[in-house]
Structures are given as C-alpha cells and as structure tokens.
Amino acid sequence: METIFRFGSPPKPSTPGSAYVRRLYLDNSLMATAPVASDSPLEYRADAGLVIRVMYNTASDEMSQLQIKLTKLHRLPPGWDGYSAPAPSERAITTAESLLSALLREDFAPRRISPSSVGGIGITHKRESRKVYVEIYNSGEVYALFSDGVSEPDIKQIEPGYQSFNQLITLMKAYLNA
C-alpha cells in the first residue's frame, strides 16, 4: 500500500533554491538536508504507517549546524550516558531551537550544546572564568546558572519565549562581559 504525504509550499526564498529542508524524519530516525528548488508543494511517497515530517529553514549555516547537533541529541537512546539518563524530548529540542535562534540573531553563538543527564539540553557560554549554563529540561522548564567559580552561583528560572529569551541574552552578555 502506498501513502502520499503532501506538504505546503516552503517559504519563498530571496534567492531561488536558497531554502533548505532542515530535518526529514522517518519515524524520527533519518535526517537529510536537501535544497528546495520549487515553490510547489512537495510530495513524499512511503509505505503505509511511515510518518514523515518536513520542516523548512532559511537560516544561516551556523544555525543549520546547531540544528544538526540538536537532531543528533534527539536521537539519543534512553540511558545514553551508560546509566539511566533520559534522551532529550521533542519539547526540549523545540525550546532549544527557539533559544538558539535568539542567540544567533544577537550574534552570540554558544560554546557548547550537550545532552543533560537529568533529561534535556544544556547550552554553555563561557568567557574567561565566567560561565552561563542554560539547562532546558524535558518538561520545557528553563534555568540559567551564572557562575564565576568563586562566588555562589546565581540560578534563574526563565519562562520560555521570545521576550524572556531576549532578556536572558542581555543578562548573559552583561554577566560575561563584566
């Protein structure tokens, strides 16, 4: 049996062929990047029961690399750390993408993105002895730890969202540049 999945047109790129499929999941296991050459709807044919999700992206190469990293984190199996760490959830991945997008808009790419042993994703910025570690839990909660290695760390809960992420970035820059 054959199933056809139809997807709407990708966003119109400023230059033909400059939009890219960010992730193509086949049961959340296959990732592919391919140019989108047309504004017409895309069709993917697959066997019955196969779920395909397509997300379009016109982001920078830097963001594309970060999204590839997030995709790899999302594919981690439970117990990826050799113990019982949960894999990052779809909610954690989506929240991390939002934060990373805000960071790149501010030209403030993180030093490191890694899975969290308690379930979620950690994003690290560091300058000399100062560090800001943002942890995005699988539940969607976001916390930022500000540490200089000497004084007591400051932990802030951040409400996920555009405005609060921009406020967080302002705090991070001020702290790391102090």
Domain ranges of the chain: 1-58, 59-178
CATH of span 59-178: 3.90.1150
CA neighbor of 38 nearest in space, from 65, 63, 19, 58: 19
Give the number of other Cβ atoms within 10 Å of residue 130's Cβ.
17
CA distance linking residue 162 with residue 89, whole number of Å: 20
pLDDT tens track for 80-109 = 999 999 999 989 998 998 899 889 888 899
pLDDT tens track for 107-147 = 899 999 999 999 999 999 999 999 999 999 999 999 999 99
